[in-house]
Structure 1
Amino acid sequence: MGRIEESVEIDAPIEAVYRAWTDRASLPACMRGGAGRGAAATEVVPQDRIAWSGGEDRPGHSGVVTFHRVGAADEDGTRVMLQLDTEPHGLWDHLVEGLGFTDRRVIDELAALKADVERGGPGPAA
């Protein structure tokens, strides 16, 4: 099983970042929690954390994303921390995982989320 842990700091209030995460259609299904590929949300605490499991269709896949205020009380800043556990099934999944493509996709998606939120809205999917 592989574990990916990444974070990004976004210059925006936690409410806006949480809303963008839950509305973001371009995130991979395994990161959205509760959407696509049989994933199901296992815990949702608004503006704090979302956890999910891959369900019957993707056993071994699960994740959690947490949202943390950063900076002084009068500043708007949010750290998004993502932990994604994956279990490759089949040769293709093992190859993708072994070459680091899953990690790269997560990093790219978090960067796109940051850019979208900081420019004021969800832009076109990358």
Structure 2
Amino acid sequence: MSKVEESVEVDVPVRTAYNQWTQFEKFPHFMEGVERIDQLTPTLTHWVTKFGGVDREFDARITEQIPDERIAWTTSAGEVQQAGVVTFHRLDDHKSKVMLQLDYDPEGFAENVADKLGLVKRQITGDLKRFKEYIEEQGGEAGSWRGEV
């Protein structure tokens, strides 16, 4: 298993950052390679991705969700094997930190090479930077789900 840990500070309250992150169907707006995410149930999402010319589909199950604090998940069906957690930290009334930790198992030659070259880490860094731009430009969340898992 490989691990990536990255974070970004966003100029929005922690509640706004968390609420936006619960809108999984909006991830293609800031996550490179994510073609589509379908929210099947409150705890199950179906992902369609394309990285380096490789198409993948998988399901991810939310294993823990605490409003304004954390969302944890693991893949449950498909070729992709990963688990992760995103945590939200209040820095002040108008600023928060989003931290992402991801454990994943690179599949095949191309993914293993990308992992060794640090391309996965760079992609996650870019995704978090684009999340920052997306949420700050919007000025507010596109929706929210405040339930607990």
* Matched residue count: 118
Correspondent of 1:118 among 129, 136, 146: 136
Distance 1:34 1:4, change over 3 A: farther
Q: TM-score by structure 1 length?
A: 0.82
Structure 2: gaps of 5 or more residues: 37-42, 48-57, 142-149
2: CA distance between counterparts of 1:95 and 1:42? Answer: 30
Structure 1: gaps of 5 or more residues: none
Residues 51, 63 of structure 1: 8 Å contact kept: yes
Residues 10, 79 of structure 1: 8 Å contact kept: yes
Correspondent of 2:87 among 54, 66, 77: 66
- The Cα of 1:84 is off from its aligned counterpart by 0.4
Please list every run of at least 4 consecutive aligned residues from structure 1 whose deviation after the TM superposition is greater than 4 angstroms.
Answer: none
**1:53-77 CA deviation, whole Å, 9 max, x = no partner?**
0124246410000001003xxx311
Correspondent of 2:109 among 91, 98, 108: 91
Confirm whether residue 106 of structure 1 aligns to residue 108 of structure 2.
no
Map 1:10-29 → 2, pairs under 5 A: 10-23=10-23, 24-26=26-28, 27=31, 28=34
Q: In the alignment, what sits opposite 2:71?
A: 50
Q: TM-score by structure 2 length?
A: 0.70
Between Structure 1 and Structure 2, the one with more strand by share is 2
**1:17-39 CA deviation, whole Å, 9 max, x = no partner?**
1122122322348xxx8422111
Letter in 1 for 2:68: Q
1: CA distance between counterparts of 2:123 and 2:2? Answer: 14
Sequence identity of aligned pairs in percent?
Answer: 36
2: CA distance between counterparts of 1:77 and 1:101? Answer: 28
Residue 64 of structure 2: SS of its match in structure 1? strand
1: CA distance between counterparts of 2:13 and 2:85? Answer: 20
